[in-house]
Structure 1
Amino acid sequence: MDNFINESTHVVENSTGEPFSATNQFKLPEWQVALWSFPYTAIVLAAIVGNGIVIWVVLAHANMRTVTNYFLVNLAFADVSIASFNTIFTFTFSVTGDWYYGKFYCYFMNFVPTTAVSASIYTLTAICLERYIAIVHPLKPRMSRVCAKSVIIAIWLCAATVNVPLCIYSHFYTFKYREEEWSVCRFQWPDDNVKFWYDVGLMTINYFMPLLVMAVAYSIVGFTLWAGKIPGEATQRHLEQMKAKRKVVKMMVIVVVTFCVCWLPYHVFFLLPPGYKEWKHIQQVYLAVFWLAMSNSMYNPFIYCWLNKRFRYGFQTALRWCPGVPAPKDPDSSLKMNRFTKSTSTQISTVRLHTIHKSVSAGSRIARRVSETSVV
């Protein structure tokens, strides 16, 4: 994605050639900083807790380890990375103009969270294509879990590659002027054209191109599931499978639309002409746009809980100690812990072996009786 550092924060030199901070005009009063702190803190807490539960639900329950859910785990991990490593740090820099976190974290934050954002949109695209193949071309081989893990690794490698320039052109400065000392973490591009075309290219491959692919693919999937005709007489099992597939596609379309709405204003903001930096309310606009983009990291768990009964059961189980959370109900007993699943499987296997042993013993006794009768 575009750089997370507020472009309205910059350093210039005065007429004597001595540097001074040009960010003071954007430094917010303490009451405004406190007011903005609440929604930003809510993002971080909701994103970490919600996505953490999503990861637990999938990894701790054997029946949830499907290809699609592996991608959802990767998406949740990316959202946790964005919320943990970026949101608060960029917020504090945006409202104070002073970078408190040192040189290493300057490079780290300009690379790792942006890579996670790229990984998010690539993961959504991978889920879309996996659903497309499974629904539109059901006779083709399905993606295995091993293949899904390989795709996830490829997603992160591609995401890291496209964000390498953000690490290369990151710079950390420390200035002293009179009695004041402050630090700045920002990008230093060779010229404005390089920055502009990189932003355009990044927006294309991290936003518009994936959304175009998903729009076309989900349109075909939707036509297949809702408007397509079932050959022959549809069985109850087939109708239930179609219903389940529709629910998954509906859930993922809502996730994609949410991503699109949250990130579009942010992309548009960084394509505005340089004159926008001089507007006195630009800092408030940036904080609102940045909050909307970062808030995308907390919405997905709510969507899963709303539209998927297994995730809902997992959330109710994880949050059962919270007041007002209903008792977890799993009517179809489809969501089981690993240990429970293994023990149940062991018990079933033992019963089956015992049954087979009894059958073999009974067969042997009958054979002996037949033999004895023949002899007689």
Structure 2
Amino acid sequence: MDPLYTTTDGPYDTMKNVSSNFTDLYSNQFVQPVWQIVIWAIAYCSIVIVSVVGNIVVIWIILAHKRMRTVTNYFLVNLAFAEASMAAFNTVINFVYSVHNEWYFGTGYCGFHNFFPIAAVFASIYSMAAIALDRYMAIIHPLQQRLSAVETKVVIGVIWVLALLLAFPQYFYSSTAELPGRVVCYLDWPEYKIWDFKLTYQICVMVLIYILPLFVMAVAYLVVGLHLWASEIPGDCTDRYREQLTAKRKVVKMMIVVVCTFALCWLPYHAYFLLHEFCPDVFEERYIQQVYLAVMWLAMSSTMYNPIIYCLLQTVGNRTL
């Protein structure tokens, strides 16, 4: 099952939102024909191959060439590492669990399975936010000193520490349970009479790894965009100035596309799990598994688009990043 918000066994909550009928409680109603499983397997494996290979290439290009080791590119490396890791360690596992609704991977990996994606998504989106703020400072306040290589690495370290702290409850409350005929991996959230800990955590996660960083990036790129495109290039400027301005515009275009792609890929995912909180009965319908697999595929596919975007816009190799 998907790791970020779920307390469920499969696309619905069999641990808490079930009928009193014993058969309904433990049965696995989401059984697909083989041809559907094959199609979904190809779709999910494609994500892993493209994401891992593409992001490793991005990391190699930047780290293997000294001239590429700029502030923006260090954050791009962190972004590529987080995305490749999530694709490698969680995408196929999510698919297998979602299709079979049975956990084959042990209690230890259950905790990691629920824990790591939040950390990876946090690291990804805050790397994008750091790039947006770096672009803002470089273009709007060019005379102010930018981050050094050491300071950039410290910021990346802080991002990962915060990511791990935010994700820790997902690890702490992860558990497995043995039902008749199968084992499930789920989140055993504590229940309090005065407040809903699970819902509070879910809302905090959505705000911290989606709404807040997207808002910061939207404001930063709006200001930068207005600055770069509002005024015409002076007629008597040098060729060097024209090249630098063009390069800056290309970098900003690239990052806007990256951010918009991330936002669009993860929006249905967040909407899906918020809907689960308020309309749980819908998630007992048979069709919901196909909806879930599509929503999860779209979210996981966000890990494979960035290398394609870099290649199409031809900016990864640009020294002015």
- What is the TM-score with the length of structure 1 in the denominator? 0.77
Shift of 1:204: 0.7
The residue that corresponds to 2:12 in the other structure is 8
1:43, 1:294 within 8 Å by CA — same for their partners in 2? Answer: yes
Does 2:303 correspond to 1:263?
no
Pick aligned residue for 1:86 from 62, 86, 90: 90
Q: What are the ranges of 5 or more consecutive residues in structure 2 without an aligned counterpart?
A: none
Pick aligned residue for 2:26 from 14, 21, 28: 21
State how far apart, in whole Å, the 2-side matches of 1:259 and 1:222 are: 19
Pick aligned residue for 1:120 from 116, 121, 124: 124
CA separation of 1:27/1:194 partners in 2, compared to 1, >3 Å: closer, same or farther? farther
Q: Spell out the pairing of 1:18-97 with structure 2 (5 A cutoff).
A: 21-22=26-27, 24-97=28-101
State how far apart, in whole Å, the 1-side matches of 2:72 and 2:137 are: 12
Q: Spell out the pairing of 1:1-376 with structure 2 (5 A cutoff).
A: 2-3=4-5, 6-8=10-12, 10-11=14-15, 21-22=26-27, 24-175=28-179, 177=180, 181-191=181-191, 193-228=196-231, 233-272=236-275, 273-308=279-314, 311=317
- What is the TM-score with the length of structure 2 in the denominator? 0.90
1:83, 1:297 within 8 Å by CA — same for their partners in 2? Answer: yes
1:119, 1:156 within 8 Å by CA — same for their partners in 2? Answer: yes
CA separation of 1:223/1:309 partners in 2, compared to 1, >3 Å: closer, same or farther? closer
Cα shift readout 1:165-214 (whole Å, capped 9, x = no counterpart): 11122111123x3xxx3110011122493222211111111101111111
CA separation of 1:15/1:279 partners in 2, compared to 1, >3 Å: closer, same or farther? closer
CA separation of 1:87/1:9 partners in 2, compared to 1, >3 Å: closer, same or farther? farther
Shift of 1:261: 0.3
CA separation of 1:151/1:265 partners in 2, compared to 1, >3 Å: closer, same or farther? same
State how far apart, in whole Å, the 2-side matches of 1:133 and 1:310 are: 20
Higher relative contact order (CA 8 A, sep 6+): 2
State how far apart, in whole Å, the 2-side matches of 1:66 and 1:293 are: 29
Amino acid paired to 1:308: Q
1:51, 1:79 within 8 Å by CA — same for their partners in 2? Answer: yes
Amino acid paired to 2:168: V
What secondary structure, in the 3-state scheme, does the structure 2 residue paired with 1:185 have? strand
Cα shift readout 1:148-174 (whole Å, capped 9, x = no counterpart): 111100110111111111112211112
State how far apart, in whole Å, the 2-side matches of 1:76 and 1:52 are: 7
Q: What are the ranges of 5 or more consecutive residues in structure 1 without an aligned counterpart?
A: 313-333, 335-376
2:48, 2:88 within 8 Å by CA — same for their partners in 1? Answer: yes
Identical columns (%): 50
Cα shift readout 1:285-322 (whole Å, capped 9, x = no counterpart): 0000000000000000000011125549xxxxxxxxxx
Amino acid paired to 2:185: C
Cα shift readout 1:3-54 (whole Å, capped 9, x = no counterpart): 36644152478869799524x1112222211121010000000000000100
Q: Cα RMSD between the aligned structures?
A: 2.3
State how far apart, in whole Å, the 1-side matches of 2:231 and 2:259 are: 23
